[in-house]
Amino acid sequence: MRFPRATHRLVHCRTRQEAEKLLEMLKKRFEECKLELHPEKTRIVYCKDDDRRGDYPNISFDFLGYTFRPRRAKNKYGKYFVSFLPAVSDKAIKSMRRVVHDWRMHLKPDKSIEDLSRMFNPIIRGWINYYGHYYKSRLHIVLRYFNGCLVYWVRRKYKRFNRHRRRAEYWLGRLARREPRLFTHWQLGTLPTAG
C-alpha cells in the first residue's frame, strides 16, 4: 500500500498555551486516523527576538531548506537588533556542496571555462534566487566552495599551475575581476582570491 508523501506545515499561535492545546488536538485527531505525529518534527518553537525575550528549549526550526532562528539584523537607521529570521540551513548547504562535488569539475579539463559557465550557472542562479533572499552571507559558504573547485579545475587544465594552488587562485581571481559576468555568483562579489 502506498501512502501520500508527508507534507510540512507551520502553525503560528499567539501563546504557549494555545500551541500546547493545538498540539494535543492534533495528536488526538491523528490517533483517530491510526497515524502518529513525527516526534522530532512536531514541536513547539519559541520565536525569540528583541520583543520576545522568554526562555524556551526550542528556539529554531528547519523548514523548506531554511533554518529559522534568532539572528542579528540591522534596521534602516543602522541600528542592530535581534529578529527571528530564516537563512539557508546546514542540511541544504551540505546538500549543495555534495552536488558541486559530484560535478567533478577537475575531471573536465577538456572543457573551457565558458563551457563550465554554461553548464553550472543555471543551477547556481537557482540556488541564489531561492536561498539568497535572506542572509545571503550564509550561501557564500557554497559559492566559495564552488570557487575552490574551479581552482582545482584550473590546476588540472593548465599544467603550469599543477603544483601551485596559490597561482591558480590568483589567475582565476584576475579572470573574475576582468569578466565578472562569467559566473552568476561572481556578479554578487563572491570572487576567487585575486592577486
Residues 76 and 161 grouped into a single domain: no
Residues 35 and 71 grouped into a single domain: yes
Residues 96 and 183 grouped into a single domain: yes
As a whole number of angstroms, the distance between CA 154 and CA 168 comes to 6
65, part of any domain = yes
The torsion region of residue 50 among left (phi > 0), alpha (psi -120 to 50) and beta comes to alpha
Tell me the residue range of the domain where 147 lies.
90-187
CB-facing half-sphere around the CA of 138: CA atoms within 13 A: 23
The tally of domains found in the chain comes to 2
Residues 180 and 97 grouped into a single domain: yes
CB-based contact 49:83 (threshold 8 Å): yes
Residues 60 and 110 grouped into a single domain: no
77, part of any domain = yes
Residues 96 and 83 grouped into a single domain: no
DSSP 11-49: ---SSHHHHHHHHHHHHHHHHHTT----TTTS------S
Residues 77 and 95 grouped into a single domain: no
26, part of any domain = yes
User: Can you read off the three cell numbers belonging to residue 78?
Assistant: 543602522
Q: What tens-digit pLDDT sequence spans the chain (195 residues)?
A: 344 555 677 888 899 999 999 999 999 999 999 998 888 888 899 999 999 888 889 999 999 999 999 999 898 999 999 999 999 999 999 999 999 999 999 999 999 999 999 999 999 999 999 999 888 889 999 999 999 999 999 999 999 998 899 999 999 999 999 999 999 999 999 999 754
Residues 58 and 116 grouped into a single domain: no
Residues 131 and 78 grouped into a single domain: no
41, part of any domain = yes
